[in-house]
Amino acid sequence: MEVEGRECNSAIQSEEETMELRRGPWTVEEDMTLMNFIAKHGEGRWNSLARCAGLKRTGKSCRLRWLNYLRPDVRRGNITPEEQLLILELHCRWGNRWSKIAQHLPGRTDNEIKNYWRTRVQKHAKQLQCDVNSKQFKDTMRYLWIPRLVERIQATSTPTATGSSPTTSTTTYHHHPNNISMSSGQLVPPPPPPATSIGGDYGGVQPENSSTGASSDSFGTQVSPVSDLTDYYNYPVNNNHNQDYYQVNQVSYPDSLTSPSGYFNHGLDFQAMEQNNNQWFDAGGDTSDNLWNVEDIWFLQQQLNNNI
């Protein structure tokens, strides 16, 4: 990537070197400045980019803002069951390699995945009274949550939706401030922010499927409640069921892995957990309209097996 006019003149540089750097939330003006500059000159060389754009920010901060928020292909909205499945599976393989995991979730940032993991998955590990990196928890994911996710995905997939793939599915990209029109190379500022947006800035992105009861933040980032991990506590703890499931669906996991039998003998009260997490159980029928079909899942599985 090339940044035109990479270096500013020395007068401007020396002036900006004395400027105090801004920190904290980005303003609309800063976002527009950064987006317009990148639209004209491209991204990269973030330190000089920050200087030349006149931003009182570090290059790091500019890069982060662009990659995690302003980039046009940043995907916002539901963490779909498919994405949750991918996150679980890839984390089983790679651990906290968030950027590597994010590479397999188009439009998702490592930061978003990391936050998802910390806020959702780790919380349930805590509820299970085990470490998130423990074999117990990992096996619970493999044998309970992942199968359940796949089952849900299959149950909600539409038979007519053939031929799509994770990268070509009818994924919806929720709008955010960078979803702007370009005319003659100039970026047009986004619509005025809703009054309820965070910090007085913009960001009040409305989820497209807000009628599903999914929880969402003011930026529109959501986790499909029906497919969140807590839901799996509702799943009958039945080893045979899970084993049968794997046989039927030919999902292969190492034979050496033990069954989940005995994993729930630590005083875990599923009913209590349901009550504690009924924000997810209450959401009944959300089956995001962008689910992959069964073939997609198999394509996904094969991709994982082939590429990893």
Partner DNA sequence: AAATTGCTCAACCGCACGCTA
Partner DNA sequence: CTAGCGTGCGGTTGAGCAATT
The reply on whether position 237 binds DNA by CB under 7 A is no
118 binding DNA? (CB under 7 A): yes
Report the amino acid identity of residue 119. T
The reply on whether position 114 binds DNA by CB under 7 A is: yes
Count of residues in contact with DNA, rule CB under 7 A: 48
- The nearer residue to DNA, 26 or 232, going by C-beta atoms, is 26
**Pairing, β 222-223 against β 78-79:** parallel
Sign of CA dihedral 220, 226, 229, 231: positive
**Who contacts 148 (Cβ-Cβ below 8 Å, separation ≥6)?**
231, 232, 235
- Tell me the per-residue interface mask from 1 to 30 with DNA, x by CB under 7 A, - otherwise: ---------------------xxxxx----
Among the listed residues 36, 154, 164, 218, the single contact to DNA using CB under 7 A:
218
Residue whose token pair is 């929720």: 174
**138 Cβ contact list (under 8 Å, min separation 6):** 92
Work out whether 138 is an interface residue with DNA (CB under 7 A): no
What letters, b where the CB count within 10 A reaches 16 and e where it falls short, cover 19-55? eeeeeeebebebbbbbbbbbeebebebbebbbbbbeb
Q: Is 93 in the site for DNA (CB under 7 A)?
A: no
Q: Is 115 in the site for DNA (CB under 7 A)?
A: yes
Tell the smallest beta-carbon distance from residue 278 to DNA (Å): 8
Which residues contact DNA by CB under 7 A? 22-26, 44-49, 57-61, 63-65, 68-69, 96-100, 110-112, 114-116, 118-120, 123, 196-199, 215-219, 221-223
